[in-house]
Structure 1
Amino acid sequence: MSVVEAPAAGGPQLEQVRRLVTAIPGPRSLELAARRAQALPAGIVSGQPVFAAAAGGGVLVDVDGNSFIDFGSGIAVTSVGNSASRVVERAVEQLRQFTHTCFLVNPYEGYVEVCEALNRLTPGDHVKRTALFNSGAEAVENAVKYARAATGRPGVVVFDHAYHGRTLLTMAMTAKNNPYKKDFGPFTAEVHRAPMAYPFRAPGGRERAAEQAMAALRDLVDVQVGADQIACVVIEPIQGEGGFIVPPEGFLPAVAEFCRERGILFVADEVQTGFARTGDMFASEHEGLAPDLITTAKGLAGGLPLAAVTGRAEIMDAVHPGGIGGTYSGNPAACAAALGVIETIEAEGLVERARVIGDRFLARLTGIADGNPVIGDVRGRGAMIAVELVRPGTTEPDPAAVAQVIRYCQERGLLVLSAGTYGNVLRFLPPLVMPEHLLAEGLDILTEAFATL
């Protein structure tokens, strides 16, 4: 734990080392937790018991001085590293100029620059337009608005295990009830759900996962609802909160072709998969997809709230003037940060770095799985990797094992996240600038954690 290395993308020049100086959580975190309990409502929870004081490169330092290896990146938000230098410098410069005008009142160049960048970077060589928003859920909701306006149809098709947000419409689009939807209904109508091609849990086995899911989609759209009633199909190229479910090769192109044949818009929700996370700038690129609309957020602005919908010009131009917008949408400081993120990804070669990180994870986790029957599946792409834990000899989910691994890692200075419809998936989203020695040390801790199961 003696290696010192500055973060590749700058930011706080924190010692790139795992260091534990108190029990976890420490006394200061416990003090803040007590204050939190008095000030916040019970519905707002946190997955980690420690309060952050600083972060950068591959570490997060808590208020007690403990330094953790970060395998979560704020749920894929700080992919370029926390407080990355280009992000901070651009945002600070903008804050000195002005903090807000509302783009709907007085426009500014930064908003236009971000839209130009997304039009350039997102898949497809068609003419595009981009609109900016505040969150992933807001982007998804506005993508549906664009699709309905462009097609004149009301229906939206989503998939099992999907997560699209917590607004009223996106709750209806999200699959899992607890905690996302419980007690919050009734939900928006005209949202229809199809089975996902989920290789590990496909009723007919991995080989038939795509075939069965496509058959169910055809039945839903053509027979039960009517294709002429469907505005769009919305899908995550790799499902995030549902458990990092990677559909079989060919499934996404088949869905896109199915949509084209019926005049339905194909919408890729890349809120969690975008911005180099999967070893491509966008996960849709893996199979050459060019979505009609693509939603982005999380990694877009390095931690500042910013989201976007990018799509074909004729679709984006279908909405009447004044029909889209919001007071804070495309905040100038967030736009400046986003330009810093894009510059960092391109200058630091982080698309390729994500592939290297993925190779490291998959090699180690596959080796662990060979001798551990609790690991039912290892999957992912680039630096978006997961393991699904089950009771040995079955596919029955084992969320208790996930909790045990997370607790073991926390106590030893490694932060990891859970996911999955059944709460039985460990997901790994390290910053793409994480130094090699921290990556290796974190994987060693994981190996030890799985040995305890």
Structure 2
Amino acid sequence: MTTTPDAATDARGTGTAATATEREIAAAEEYSAHNYHPLPVVVASAEGAWVTDVEGRRYVDLLAGYSALNFGHNNPRLIAAAKAQLERVTLTSRAFHHDRFGAFCRALAELCGKDMVLPMNTGAEAVETAVKTARKWGYQVKGIPDGQARIVVAAGNFHGRTTTIVSFSTDPEARDGFGPYTPGFDIVPYGDLAALEAAFGDDTAAVLVEPIQGEAGVLVPPPGYLAGVRRLTAERGVLMMADEIQSGLGRTGRTFACDHEDVVPDLYVLGKALGGGVVPVSAVVGSRDVLGVFRPGEHGSTFGGNPLACAVGLEVVAMLSTGEYQRRAAELGAHLHEELAAMATDGLLVRVRGRGLWAGVDVDPARFTGRELTEALLERGVLAKDTHGSTIRLAPPLTISKADLDWSLTRLRDALT
């Protein structure tokens, strides 16, 4: 849905509408744990690239649920698929089969060019599943002595916030105060192939890597890095596990970010957009000789692969199979990066990086913090997210119109000046 610049008025509002915002925020502050620090906006409804708050003010969403909303808010195809399934059956135990499970697994496996799918719910669950898969494969297939399997990860990573995952985080905010930590991980600099190779030992089972580091500020590795990871892992009998939870499913202009270097990992770790912003859906996808190590009872999930999730995920895969959304991300992404590069040339931004409809931009910390810039954008009718002090991330829905994207970028330039 497209609007005009006149639709974006003072974000604070006045009178009773502003009181509604204050009331909702106060309730959240009082009754919820303070594990987030949201901007002072209360969303009540959304459609496409636009959200509407409790005061009736509309904003362009340039975050898209950290890429969970690649297909926009309230996407008609996904909502129709969910509604149809809601009227049939939403949950069965995996003690039984249901009529959406096999179709979803087959479609997703074919999209990935793999043999098997292990569905879960959240991205962190999928990463945990990949870790268990790598260890089981290391013992059962590679012959690593029991309890000694190691996984190499990259500094600056973000794979979730479970106890095991924060054990190999280098972000103090995510890690500090949550020990004791899970052993078995070796951390090397992101983008450094020599350091990666030096970390390999006989007990190395896998490498877990983000093809683009999202939470770190949309960091794109040096050209050839992913291909180098694939070459080294193949040579040393080590699994390559690509965390494409944010970068995959069309975000970068290809189905997977690994596709930009013609790399096919042993395991894809997927989530976010796989549920279309409707329900949480994640999955680990791989070949039979890797995912086939599991036996009944060794891993599972009450809700993983439920009928509602599979119905929505099946529609997501159908939408991606046309290539339409990948093309949109590539074309609009080129325009996005051209406009951001112009702002950098004009001295308004320090650095710009990213791929497709995904960008990390650094501002001069002497002028703004990232939080201050997102607050200035909020005042102008644009939603974005800061990270690591002086960086903001931009990830609009792949369905955003060029007019709405340009409208948002005009407001970004205005906020910077």
Place the TM-score, normalised by the shorter chain, in its bin.
over 0.9
User: 5 Å matches for 1:411-430?
Assistant: 411-419=379-387, 422-430=388-396
**2:74 is aligned with 1:83:** yes
Q: Match of 1:426, SS? A: strand
The match for 2:166 among 171, 174, 177 is 171
TM-score, normalised relative to structure 2:
0.92
* Gaps in structure 1 of 5+ consecutive residues: 6-14, 198-212, 222-226, 393-397
Q: Sequence identity of aligned pairs in percent?
A: 32
Residues 391 and 70 (structure 1 numbering): CA distance in 2 closer, same or farther, change over 3 Å?
Answer: closer
* CA contact 1:80–1:345 (8 Å) conserved in 2: no
The match for 1:119 among 73, 86, 109 is 109
| TM-fit CA distance, 1:33 | 0.7
Report the Cα distance in structure 2 between the residues aligned to 1:157 and 1:73, rounded to whole angstroms: 30
**2:406 is aligned with 1:431:** no
| TM-fit CA distance, 1:229 | 1.0
User: 5 Å matches for 1:44-443?
Assistant: 44-102=35-93, 104-122=94-112, 124=113, 127-152=114-139, 153=144, 154-178=149-173, 180-197=174-191, 213-221=192-200, 227-303=201-277, 304-346=279-321, 349-372=324-347, 375-391=349-365, 400-419=368-387, 422-443=388-409
Report the Cα distance in structure 2 between the residues aligned to 1:321 and 1:76, rounded to whole angstroms: 33
Number of equivalenced pairs: 404
Report the Cα distance in structure 1 between the residues aligned to 2:251 and 2:314, rounded to whole angstroms: 17
* CA contact 1:297–1:306 (8 Å) conserved in 2: yes
Residues 275 and 16 (structure 1 numbering): CA distance in 2 closer, same or farther, change over 3 Å?
Answer: farther
Residues 82 and 246 (structure 1 numbering): CA distance in 2 closer, same or farther, change over 3 Å?
Answer: same
Give a deviation string over 1:175-218, Cα, whole Å, max 9, x none.
2120x222111110011100012xxxxxxxxxxxxxxx122222
Give a deviation string over 1:397-444, Cα, whole Å, max 9, x none.
x8x43222211100010001123xx33221111011112211110010
* CA contact 1:147–1:232 (8 Å) conserved in 2: yes
Higher alpha-carbon deviation: 106-115 or 136-145: 106-115
Report the Cα distance in structure 1 between the residues aligned to 2:215 and 2:193, rounded to whole angstroms: 22
* CA contact 2:357–2:398 (8 Å) conserved in 1: yes
Q: Which amino acid aligns with 2:371?
A: A
Give a deviation string over 1:87-146, Cα, whole Å, max 9, x none.
1111111111112112x2222122222211211111x4xx52101001111101111111
Report the Cα distance in structure 1 between the residues aligned to 2:338 and 2:86, rounded to whole angstroms: 44
Report the Cα distance in structure 2 between the residues aligned to 1:105 and 1:69, rounded to whole angstroms: 43
| TM-fit CA distance, 1:342 | 2.5
Residue equivalent to 1:32? 24
| TM-fit CA distance, 1:358 | 0.9
Q: Match of 1:121, SS? A: helix
* CA contact 1:29–1:63 (8 Å) conserved in 2: yes
| TM-fit CA distance, 1:72 | 0.6
Q: Which amino acid aligns with 2:44?
A: A
Report the Cα distance in structure 2 between the residues aligned to 1:408 and 1:275, rounded to whole angstroms: 31
TM-score, normalised relative to structure 1:
0.85
Q: Which amino acid aligns with 1:292?
A: D
Report the Cα distance in structure 2 between the residues aligned to 1:27 and 1:413, rounded to whole angstroms: 19
* Gaps in structure 2 of 5+ consecutive residues: none
Report the Cα distance in structure 2 between the residues aligned to 1:24 and 1:111, rounded to whole angstroms: 46
Report the Cα distance in structure 1 between the residues aligned to 2:259 and 2:207, rounded to whole angstroms: 18
* CA contact 1:17–1:438 (8 Å) conserved in 2: no
Q: Match of 1:97, SS? A: coil
Give a deviation string over 1:61-98, Cα, whole Å, max 9, x none.
11110100110101111111111111111111111111
* CA contact 2:39–2:375 (8 Å) conserved in 1: no
| TM-fit CA distance, 1:340 | 2.2
| TM-fit CA distance, 1:391 | 4.9
